Structure 1
Amino acid sequence: MGAAAAGSAALAGCGLLDGEPAPDPAPDPLQPLLDEALALAAAYDRAILAQPALAARLTPMAEDHRAHAAELAKVIGATPPSAAPSASAGAGAAETAATLRKAELAAQKTAVAACKAAPAARAALTGSIAACRATHAEGLR
Protein backbone atom coordinates (compact mmCIF):
# COMPACT_ATOMS: atom_id res chain seq x y z
CA MET A 1 0.00 0.00 0.00
CA GLY A 2 1.47 3.36 -1.01
CA ALA A 3 1.92 6.34 1.29
CA ALA A 4 -1.06 8.16 -0.23
CA ALA A 5 -3.32 5.16 0.31
CA ALA A 6 -2.10 4.72 3.85
CA GLY A 7 -2.71 8.39 4.53
CA SER A 8 -6.24 8.13 3.12
CA ALA A 9 -6.94 5.08 5.22
CA ALA A 10 -5.70 6.86 8.32
CA LEU A 11 -7.90 9.88 7.59
CA ALA A 12 -10.90 7.65 6.92
CA GLY A 13 -10.31 5.91 10.22
CA CYS A 14 -10.35 9.14 12.18
CA GLY A 15 -13.77 10.15 10.88
CA LEU A 16 -12.79 13.01 8.60
CA LEU A 17 -14.01 11.29 5.47
CA ASP A 18 -16.88 9.14 6.75
CA GLY A 19 -19.58 11.68 5.85
CA GLU A 20 -21.14 11.94 9.30
CA PRO A 21 -22.17 15.47 10.26
CA ALA A 22 -20.34 17.17 13.05
CA PRO A 23 -22.23 17.20 16.35
CA ASP A 24 -24.20 20.32 17.16
CA PRO A 25 -22.19 22.79 19.23
CA ALA A 26 -23.10 23.06 22.90
CA PRO A 27 -25.49 25.91 23.67
CA ASP A 28 -23.89 29.10 24.88
CA PRO A 29 -23.81 29.34 28.70
CA LEU A 30 -25.63 32.68 28.43
CA GLN A 31 -28.61 31.16 26.58
CA PRO A 32 -30.57 30.61 29.84
CA LEU A 33 -30.16 34.31 30.65
CA LEU A 34 -31.44 35.23 27.19
CA ASP A 35 -34.40 32.88 27.58
CA GLU A 36 -35.22 34.35 30.99
CA ALA A 37 -34.93 37.93 29.74
CA LEU A 38 -37.42 37.16 26.98
CA ALA A 39 -39.75 35.36 29.40
CA LEU A 40 -39.60 38.25 31.88
CA ALA A 41 -40.30 40.84 29.19
CA ALA A 42 -43.29 38.78 28.04
CA ALA A 43 -44.53 38.42 31.63
CA TYR A 44 -44.38 42.19 32.09
CA ASP A 45 -46.16 42.73 28.79
CA ARG A 46 -48.94 40.34 29.84
CA ALA A 47 -49.20 42.07 33.22
CA ILE A 48 -49.48 45.47 31.55
CA LEU A 49 -52.26 44.19 29.29
CA ALA A 50 -54.10 42.74 32.28
CA GLN A 51 -53.43 45.72 34.57
CA PRO A 52 -53.17 48.90 32.47
CA ALA A 53 -52.98 50.98 35.65
CA LEU A 54 -49.55 49.41 36.30
CA ALA A 55 -48.16 50.32 32.87
CA ALA A 56 -46.13 53.33 34.06
CA ARG A 57 -44.49 51.21 36.74
CA LEU A 58 -43.94 48.03 34.70
CA THR A 59 -43.07 49.29 31.22
CA PRO A 60 -39.51 50.40 32.12
CA MET A 61 -38.86 46.97 33.65
CA ALA A 62 -40.10 45.21 30.52
CA GLU A 63 -37.88 47.48 28.42
CA ASP A 64 -34.87 46.60 30.59
CA HIS A 65 -35.44 42.91 29.90
CA ARG A 66 -35.79 43.52 26.17
CA ALA A 67 -32.50 45.47 26.24
CA HIS A 68 -30.83 42.61 28.13
CA ALA A 69 -32.18 40.11 25.58
CA ALA A 70 -30.85 42.21 22.71
CA GLU A 71 -27.40 42.51 24.26
CA LEU A 72 -27.23 38.83 25.22
CA ALA A 73 -28.31 37.83 21.71
CA LYS A 74 -25.57 40.04 20.27
CA VAL A 75 -22.93 38.51 22.55
CA ILE A 76 -23.87 34.90 21.81
CA GLY A 77 -24.79 35.42 18.17
CA ALA A 78 -28.47 34.55 18.49
CA THR A 79 -31.57 36.19 17.11
CA PRO A 80 -34.18 36.66 19.82
CA PRO A 81 -37.72 35.93 18.70
CA SER A 82 -40.24 38.70 18.76
CA ALA A 83 -43.67 37.80 20.00
CA ALA A 84 -46.74 39.84 20.68
CA PRO A 85 -47.93 39.56 24.27
CA SER A 86 -51.19 37.87 25.02
CA ALA A 87 -53.39 38.89 27.90
CA SER A 88 -53.28 36.73 31.00
CA ALA A 89 -55.99 35.93 33.45
CA GLY A 90 -57.06 38.89 35.50
CA ALA A 91 -55.21 39.14 38.79
CA GLY A 92 -55.18 42.04 41.16
CA ALA A 93 -52.38 44.60 41.08
CA ALA A 94 -50.82 43.27 44.29
CA GLU A 95 -50.93 39.68 43.06
CA THR A 96 -49.48 40.71 39.70
CA ALA A 97 -46.59 42.53 41.38
CA ALA A 98 -45.96 39.59 43.72
CA THR A 99 -45.85 37.14 40.80
CA LEU A 100 -43.44 39.35 38.89
CA ARG A 101 -41.29 39.82 41.99
CA LYS A 102 -41.03 36.06 42.46
CA ALA A 103 -39.98 35.66 38.82
CA GLU A 104 -37.38 38.45 39.18
CA LEU A 105 -35.88 36.87 42.30
CA ALA A 106 -35.57 33.47 40.61
CA ALA A 107 -34.05 35.04 37.49
CA GLN A 108 -31.68 37.12 39.59
CA LYS A 109 -30.26 33.92 41.12
CA THR A 110 -29.66 32.55 37.63
CA ALA A 111 -27.88 35.75 36.63
CA VAL A 112 -25.68 35.70 39.75
CA ALA A 113 -24.67 32.09 39.01
CA ALA A 114 -23.93 33.02 35.39
CA CYS A 115 -21.84 35.97 36.55
CA LYS A 116 -19.79 33.77 38.88
CA ALA A 117 -19.14 31.28 36.08
CA ALA A 118 -18.60 33.80 33.28
CA PRO A 119 -15.22 34.67 31.86
CA ALA A 120 -14.07 38.21 32.55
CA ALA A 121 -15.31 39.46 29.18
CA ARG A 122 -18.87 38.51 30.10
CA ALA A 123 -18.87 39.16 33.84
CA ALA A 124 -19.79 42.83 33.55
CA LEU A 125 -22.85 42.05 31.42
CA THR A 126 -24.07 39.20 33.61
CA GLY A 127 -23.39 41.18 36.78
CA SER A 128 -25.32 44.13 35.42
CA ILE A 129 -28.26 41.89 34.56
CA ALA A 130 -28.20 40.35 38.05
CA ALA A 131 -28.18 43.81 39.64
CA CYS A 132 -31.03 45.00 37.43
CA ARG A 133 -33.13 41.98 38.30
CA ALA A 134 -32.53 42.55 42.01
CA THR A 135 -33.53 46.20 41.59
CA HIS A 136 -36.73 45.17 39.82
CA ALA A 137 -37.57 42.76 42.65
CA GLU A 138 -37.17 45.55 45.18
CA GLY A 139 -39.25 47.91 43.04
CA LEU A 140 -42.08 45.37 43.03
CA ARG A 141 -42.39 45.22 46.83
Structure 2
Amino acid sequence: MRAGGHTRRRVLSVAGTAVGAATLTGCGLFDDEPEPAPEPDPLQPLLDEALALAAAYDRAIAAQPDLGVRLTSLAEDHRAHAAELARLIGTALPSASAAPSSSASATDGDTTADLRKAEQAAQKTAVAACRTAPRERAALVGSIAACRATHAEALR
Protein backbone atom coordinates (compact mmCIF):
# COMPACT_ATOMS: atom_id res chain seq x y z
CA MET A 1 0.00 0.00 0.00
CA ARG A 2 1.11 3.50 -0.77
CA ALA A 3 0.83 6.44 1.51
CA GLY A 4 -2.42 7.56 -0.15
CA GLY A 5 -3.96 4.13 0.44
CA HIS A 6 -4.06 3.04 -3.21
CA THR A 7 -1.89 0.44 -4.85
CA ARG A 8 -0.76 0.71 -8.42
CA ARG A 9 -2.85 -2.37 -9.23
CA ARG A 10 -5.98 -0.75 -7.80
CA VAL A 11 -5.44 2.50 -9.73
CA LEU A 12 -4.89 0.61 -13.00
CA SER A 13 -7.96 -1.55 -12.37
CA VAL A 14 -10.19 1.48 -11.79
CA ALA A 15 -8.72 3.25 -14.83
CA GLY A 16 -9.27 0.15 -17.00
CA THR A 17 -12.87 -0.14 -15.83
CA ALA A 18 -13.50 3.54 -16.62
CA VAL A 19 -12.01 3.18 -20.11
CA GLY A 20 -14.05 0.03 -20.73
CA ALA A 21 -17.28 1.73 -19.63
CA ALA A 22 -16.55 4.73 -21.83
CA THR A 23 -15.93 2.41 -24.78
CA LEU A 24 -19.21 0.55 -24.26
CA THR A 25 -21.10 3.81 -23.95
CA GLY A 26 -19.55 5.06 -27.17
CA CYS A 27 -20.45 1.92 -29.15
CA GLY A 28 -24.16 2.39 -28.61
CA LEU A 29 -24.69 -0.46 -26.15
CA PHE A 30 -26.50 1.83 -23.76
CA ASP A 31 -28.28 4.00 -26.35
CA ASP A 32 -32.03 4.12 -25.94
CA GLU A 33 -32.70 5.28 -29.49
CA PRO A 34 -33.73 2.51 -31.91
CA GLU A 35 -31.91 2.05 -35.18
CA PRO A 36 -33.57 3.98 -38.00
CA ALA A 37 -35.51 1.83 -40.43
CA PRO A 38 -33.62 1.21 -43.67
CA GLU A 39 -34.82 3.17 -46.67
CA PRO A 40 -37.09 1.12 -48.93
CA ASP A 41 -35.61 0.21 -52.29
CA PRO A 42 -36.74 2.65 -55.01
CA LEU A 43 -37.94 -0.31 -57.10
CA GLN A 44 -40.25 -1.63 -54.36
CA PRO A 45 -43.30 0.24 -55.81
CA LEU A 46 -42.68 -1.48 -59.17
CA LEU A 47 -42.54 -4.86 -57.45
CA ASP A 48 -45.75 -4.14 -55.54
CA GLU A 49 -47.44 -3.02 -58.75
CA ALA A 50 -46.33 -6.12 -60.64
CA LEU A 51 -47.83 -8.33 -57.93
CA ALA A 52 -51.04 -6.28 -57.89
CA LEU A 53 -51.37 -6.48 -61.68
CA ALA A 54 -50.83 -10.25 -61.68
CA ALA A 55 -53.51 -10.58 -59.00
CA ALA A 56 -55.90 -8.37 -60.98
CA TYR A 57 -55.45 -10.58 -64.03
CA ASP A 58 -56.01 -13.68 -61.92
CA ARG A 59 -59.25 -12.20 -60.56
CA ALA A 60 -60.42 -11.31 -64.06
CA ILE A 61 -59.68 -14.83 -65.30
CA ALA A 62 -61.50 -16.35 -62.32
CA ALA A 63 -64.50 -14.08 -62.95
CA GLN A 64 -64.57 -14.80 -66.68
CA PRO A 65 -62.76 -18.00 -67.60
CA ASP A 66 -63.27 -17.31 -71.29
CA LEU A 67 -60.70 -14.50 -70.93
CA GLY A 68 -58.10 -16.96 -69.68
CA VAL A 69 -56.48 -17.54 -73.06
CA ARG A 70 -56.18 -13.81 -73.64
CA LEU A 71 -55.04 -12.78 -70.15
CA THR A 72 -52.94 -15.63 -68.76
CA SER A 73 -49.73 -14.69 -70.56
CA LEU A 74 -50.12 -11.07 -69.42
CA ALA A 75 -50.43 -12.19 -65.79
CA GLU A 76 -47.37 -14.43 -66.24
CA ASP A 77 -45.38 -11.44 -67.53
CA HIS A 78 -46.14 -9.56 -64.32
CA ARG A 79 -45.15 -12.53 -62.17
CA ALA A 80 -41.85 -12.75 -64.08
CA HIS A 81 -41.28 -9.02 -63.53
CA ALA A 82 -42.02 -9.42 -59.82
CA ALA A 83 -39.58 -12.33 -59.53
CA GLU A 84 -36.79 -10.41 -61.26
CA LEU A 85 -37.43 -7.23 -59.25
CA ALA A 86 -37.43 -9.21 -56.00
CA ARG A 87 -34.12 -10.81 -56.99
CA LEU A 88 -32.62 -7.42 -57.84
CA ILE A 89 -33.88 -5.80 -54.64
CA GLY A 90 -32.84 -8.77 -52.55
CA THR A 91 -36.24 -9.56 -51.08
CA ALA A 92 -38.48 -12.58 -51.09
CA LEU A 93 -41.77 -12.61 -52.90
CA PRO A 94 -44.81 -13.02 -50.66
CA SER A 95 -46.20 -16.52 -50.53
CA ALA A 96 -48.99 -17.32 -52.94
CA SER A 97 -52.32 -16.35 -51.50
CA ALA A 98 -55.55 -18.25 -51.71
CA ALA A 99 -57.40 -18.56 -54.99
CA PRO A 100 -58.39 -15.19 -56.40
CA SER A 101 -61.86 -13.98 -55.60
CA SER A 102 -64.26 -13.77 -58.48
CA SER A 103 -66.56 -10.96 -59.41
CA ALA A 104 -69.56 -12.36 -61.21
CA SER A 105 -70.85 -8.89 -62.09
CA ALA A 106 -67.85 -7.92 -64.22
CA THR A 107 -68.29 -8.00 -67.98
CA ASP A 108 -65.63 -8.53 -70.65
CA GLY A 109 -65.57 -4.82 -71.54
CA ASP A 110 -65.42 -3.68 -67.92
CA THR A 111 -62.74 -6.19 -67.02
CA THR A 112 -60.43 -5.40 -69.91
CA ALA A 113 -61.07 -1.65 -69.58
CA ASP A 114 -60.13 -1.76 -65.89
CA LEU A 115 -57.05 -3.81 -66.62
CA ARG A 116 -56.06 -1.40 -69.40
CA LYS A 117 -56.34 1.58 -67.03
CA ALA A 118 -54.25 -0.26 -64.44
CA GLU A 119 -51.63 -1.08 -67.07
CA GLN A 120 -51.46 2.54 -68.24
CA ALA A 121 -51.01 3.82 -64.69
CA ALA A 122 -48.37 1.17 -63.96
CA GLN A 123 -46.56 2.01 -67.18
CA LYS A 124 -46.27 5.65 -66.05
CA THR A 125 -44.82 4.49 -62.73
CA ALA A 126 -42.27 2.34 -64.55
CA VAL A 127 -41.26 5.19 -66.88
CA ALA A 128 -40.71 7.50 -63.89
CA ALA A 129 -38.66 4.81 -62.14
CA CYS A 130 -36.61 4.26 -65.29
CA ARG A 131 -35.68 7.94 -65.42
CA THR A 132 -34.19 7.83 -61.93
CA ALA A 133 -32.83 4.27 -61.91
CA PRO A 134 -29.09 3.67 -61.87
CA ARG A 135 -27.63 2.42 -65.13
CA GLU A 136 -27.47 -1.21 -63.98
CA ARG A 137 -31.22 -1.18 -63.22
CA ALA A 138 -32.49 1.02 -66.04
CA ALA A 139 -32.60 -1.74 -68.67
CA LEU A 140 -34.86 -3.95 -66.57
CA VAL A 141 -37.12 -1.07 -65.57
CA GLY A 142 -37.30 0.14 -69.16
CA SER A 143 -38.29 -3.34 -70.31
CA ILE A 144 -41.03 -3.45 -67.69
CA ALA A 145 -42.33 -0.05 -68.81
CA ALA A 146 -42.39 -1.22 -72.45
CA CYS A 147 -44.15 -4.46 -71.52
CA ARG A 148 -46.81 -2.58 -69.57
CA ALA A 149 -47.43 -0.28 -72.55
CA THR A 150 -47.75 -3.32 -74.79
CA HIS A 151 -50.23 -4.90 -72.39
CA ALA A 152 -52.35 -1.75 -72.42
CA GLU A 153 -52.49 -1.89 -76.21
CA ALA A 154 -53.28 -5.59 -76.21
CA LEU A 155 -56.30 -4.87 -74.01
CA ARG A 156 -57.91 -2.47 -76.51
1:55-75 CA distance string (max 9 Å, x none): 111000000000000001111
Change in CA separation of 1:78 and 1:88 when aligned onto 2, cut-off 3 Å = farther
Higher mean Cα deviation, 101-110 or 74-83?
74-83
The aligned length equals: 140
Alpha-carbon distance in 2 for matches of 1:56, 1:45: 12
Supply the distance in 2 between the matched residues of 1:43 and 1:23 (Cα, whole angstroms).
34
The corresponding residue for 2:92 is 79
In 2, Cα distance between equivalents of 1:5 and 1:113: 55
* 1:26 aligned to which of 39, 64, 85: 39
- C-alpha displacement of 1:10: 6.8
TM-score (norm 1): 0.89
Q: Percent identity?
A: 69
Deviation at 1:85, TM superposition (A): 1.6
1:90 alignment partner in structure 2: 105
The answer (yes or no) to whether the contact 2:61–2:67 under 8 Å persists in 1 is: yes
In structure 2, the residue corresponding to 1:73 is in which secondary structure? helix
Q: Which residue matches 1:130?
A: 145
> 1:86 Cα shift?
1.6
Q: TM-score, normalised to structure 2's length?
A: 0.81
Task: Pick from 100, 108, 125 the counterpart of residue 123 of structure 2.
Answer: 108
C-alpha distance in structure 2 between counterparts of 1:34 and 1:46, whole Å: 19
Match of 2:10 in 1: none
What is the CA distance between 1:24 and its match in structure 2?
1.7
Q: Which stretches in structure 1 are left out of the alignment for 5+ residues?
A: none
Question: Any unmatched runs of 5+ in structure 2?
Answer: 1-13
CA RMSD of aligned residues (A): 2.0
Note the alpha carbon deviations across 1:53-102, whole angstroms, 9 max, x for none: 11111000000000000001111111111223221242110111000000
Larger Rg: 2
